Structure 1
Amino acid sequence: MLRWIIFVLIYSVLGFYAFQALKTATKVNWLHYLYIGVSLLAVINFIYQFSVGNEGRVISISMSYAFGFLLSVMAFNLVLIIFLFSEDIIRFLAGLYTKFFGTSKEFVLPSRRRFLSLIGLGLASLPFGALLYGMAKGKYNFKVLKYELAFDDLPDAFNGYQITQISDVHSGSFDDEEKIKYAINLINEQKSDVLLFTGDMVNNIADEMEPWKDIFSKLEAKDGKYSVLGNHDYGDYVNWDSDELKEANLDKLKEIQKEIGFDLLLNDSRFLQKGSDKIALVGVENWGVGGFKKAGDLKKATANVGKDDFKILMSHDPSHWEHEVINDDYHYHLTLSGHTHGMQFGIEIPGWIKWSPIKWRYRYWAGIYKEMGQYINVNRGFGFLGYPGRVGIWPEITVITLKKKELA
């Protein structure tokens, strides 16, 4: 209870401070009441959603929207507060100047300037509108990103071989069947040779995938569909009544993946074969730093793989590549990961800028990277979690074409 009281007090103070800009900018009372109403609705709904029936770290769809709306209001207030605080510093200095150097020798704060409040409101409307757009449209704004990677030792028969990667489905967050059907069709339109899914099929429990498994079973790839588990797939964020229930949940998720048509690799490997040429496809369980499960076992996964084989590794968390894979005795030509979602928020202009706050947490957070002659692609994710939207970092379908360097 105390934490909610503290939260409401801070929220109220910040909201009241931001409200001053609105009062300065306009005398239209209904706008004042609208602001107050939206602010109250956002915080009341948030407190209700996160204090009633909340178990473990499970976030329902209604909870995620409550968080999203509150985040939008707080972003609006924060920009206004930064703007107003900067103006208040100038007003305070002007008041000091008047007291010590003016004729009246009194400390008088100059009035707020209306045009500055209008500018502040305009700037604050940008993140507010962007976050609302991200919830309404951005979360299903699927993008196909295509890359071509060349290797000296790619087997000849695999020159031009095309891979589609998806990651972080998070089916428990979906709320639009038609948009998901569109995305599945978009994946199939790529007509890739193989489809690789790099983990986090659900948010928390296997049942979240039940309404969507028929749609996902329509995914096509002539050389097969392969998958690995992500940190959310294990059910670690649910307060289970027993270990047996948790294990049964994971078993059910594995069965659902099988029904969809995925060959789930649990520290295991397969070979993609073309005549006498082959590629080793290696899949490990989740391995991540920062408190995440470390079940991935490269040695076990490559028990049937030769050191000189051309290798593609599926590992959900890119921190695995950074801390374990690139320094391993085996050379993993290409690693496919996800996990970061690109934080679902950032700025990307191809060829110009790629930025998200997630870069302060993960060194490799979105797109293609190369270290020690080895590549990784960090997929930005198919779905969304927590904030029920995306701004600037759109849901991704990755298409990678392998090329023989001498033939490229």
Structure 2
Amino acid sequence: MLRWTIFLIIFGILDFYAFQAFRTLSKNNWLLAIYWIITLLVVGNFVYSYYGFNRSDGFSHANAYAVGFFIAILIPKMVLLLVMFGEDIFRVPQAVYRYFTEGNSAQGHYFPPRREFISKIALGLAAIPFASIIYGIYKGRYNFKVLKYTLHFEDLPKAFDGYKITQISDIHSGSFDNVEKVHYAVNLINEQESDVILFTGDMVNNKAEEMQPYMGIFGNLRAKDGLFSILGNHDYGDYVSWESNEAKHKNLEDLKAIQKQLGFDLLLNESRYLEKDGDRIALVGVENWGVGGFKKAGDLKKASKHIGENDFKILMSHDPSHWENEVIQDAYHYHLTLSGHTHGMQFGIEIPGWIKWSPSKWRYKYWAGIYKEMGQYINVNRGFGYLAFPGRVGIWPEITVIELKKGTIVS
């Protein structure tokens, strides 16, 4: 009860200032009524969704849209609050001054009237996140981007010079609601004609059955040297309630079977060799390992026990915190690690060569793209799907293509 009281107080303050911006510009009672109707519908739906959430069923599309539209009005109102409250920083001292200097002789209210141009500025600024969020929900979540990188390694086996890897991550099939868009993205993956496709975890939100409507689509994935996968934190079914431990275990086994049906070789703290013209590179896959309360089922030593210290190594590990906390300090040198998990928080600003920012950076040191530490690379894929918030703003769904080149970069 206390948290809802706090919620209502905070949202009441937001609406107090947001409504003033609208009322300053328009006295039309119908427009002002529409403002309150939309606010009450969105907030009411959010509260209804919160109380109606069933942990056994997991996060539904209805829950996601309730969150999405709530965020769509919350962020703009926060912008309005900042601007309108900023004006009050100047209005309040003026009111106090008039009270003590003019007293009863003051004409009208002590507070100077709100300036119309300040309200216009506030509404103009608030329109930017509102439009961006609506676009992110309507278009952004399926705005698939192919990001290409070329990485150079002096010790890359000669036969693998020019070898192409396509990485996808965080499918979260239970969030999808547009089969055609997913079909388009899978075709886009195949169009890259990479030598191998590597999937770095979170095929579902919680339950194996979420993948059933998309089996025919993802079953079309093709790569010359095959498809390999690992598990992410959501694949274990830890975020919903189960009628028994047996049911939860069966769900995980069903998901493993689904991955096999789709043609993926699922690596559960295991390794494989990719061979070409007498050369080979080691592919290592660990189960999920993450800091901050996430499952630590990954066992790097076990996964690498059948490969050599001098092998060229590609590691698949869902959570980039594993790379930071265990991998780069390991006695073995893992040339390239492929991760996902962060989604780039599905929100941020990226202009190549200029800016790369997301709130995700406050949680993860390595949150999107290529990083290099101690002579080792990691790529943190921004994710194929989406979770909870049914959209993406500035951080688009990603298909990564990495080309391996022998030698050093020629400047």
Q: TM-score range by the shorter chain?
A: over 0.9
**1:70 equivalent in structure 2:** 70
Indicate the SS of the match to 1:280: strand
Cα distance in 2 between the residues matched to 1:58 and 1:82: 35
More deviation in 50-59 or 252-261?
A: 50-59
**2:95 equivalent in structure 1:** 95
Cα distance in 2 between the residues matched to 1:333 and 1:101: 74
Change (3 A) 1:47 1:304: same
Indicate the SS of the match to 1:76: helix
Cα distance in 1 between the residues matched to 2:148 and 2:391: 23
- Determine if contact 2:269/2:303 at 8 Å carries over to the other structure: yes
For these two proteins, the number of residue pairs brought into alignment is 408
The percent identity for this pair of structures is 65
Change (3 A) 1:10 1:230: same
Q: Structure 1 residue 49: deviation in Å?
A: 1.4
Q: Structure 1 residue 11: deviation in Å?
A: 2.2
Cα distance in 2 between the residues matched to 1:28 and 1:365: 47
**2:358 equivalent in structure 1:** 356
> Residue 23 of structure 2 aligns to which amino acid in structure 1?
K
Cα distance in 1 between the residues matched to 2:32 and 2:407: 64
More deviation in 19-28 or 184-193?
A: 19-28
Cα distance in 1 between the residues matched to 2:103 and 2:34: 43
Query: Which of 189, 198, 201 in structure 2 is aligned with 1:187?
Result: 189
Give the 5 Å matches for 1:237-256: 237-256=239-258
Tell me the TM-score normalised to structure 1 length: 0.97
**1:219 equivalent in structure 2:** 221
Q: Structure 1 residue 384: deviation in Å?
A: 0.2
**1:272 equivalent in structure 2:** 274
**Residue deviations 1:266-320 (CA, integer Å, cap 9, x gap):** 0000000012200000000000000000010011001110000000000000000
**Residue deviations 1:41-66 (CA, integer Å, cap 9, x gap):** 10111111121242169211110100
Q: Structure 1 residue 321: deviation in Å?
A: 0.1
1:151 aligns with 2:153: yes
Change (3 A) 1:53 1:367: closer
Cα distance in 2 between the residues matched to 1:178 and 1:101: 69
1:379 aligns with 2:381: yes
Query: Which of 317, 321, 324 in structure 2 is aligned with 1:322?
Result: 324
Indicate the SS of the match to 1:402: strand
Cα distance in 1 between the residues matched to 2:31 and 2:257: 54
Q: Structure 1 residue 15: deviation in Å?
A: 1.5
Cα distance in 2 between the residues matched to 1:285 and 1:397: 21
* Runs of 5+ unmatched residues, structure 2: none
Cα RMSD, aligned residues only: 1.7
Q: Structure 1 residue 17: deviation in Å?
A: 2.7
More deviation in 171-180 or 124-133?
A: 124-133
Q: Structure 1 residue 398: deviation in Å?
A: 0.2
Indicate the SS of the match to 2:36: helix
**1:259 equivalent in structure 2:** 261
Query: Which of 119, 126, 131 in structure 2 is aligned with 1:129?
Result: 131
Tell me the TM-score normalised to structure 2 length: 0.96
- Determine if contact 2:53/2:59 at 8 Å carries over to the other structure: no
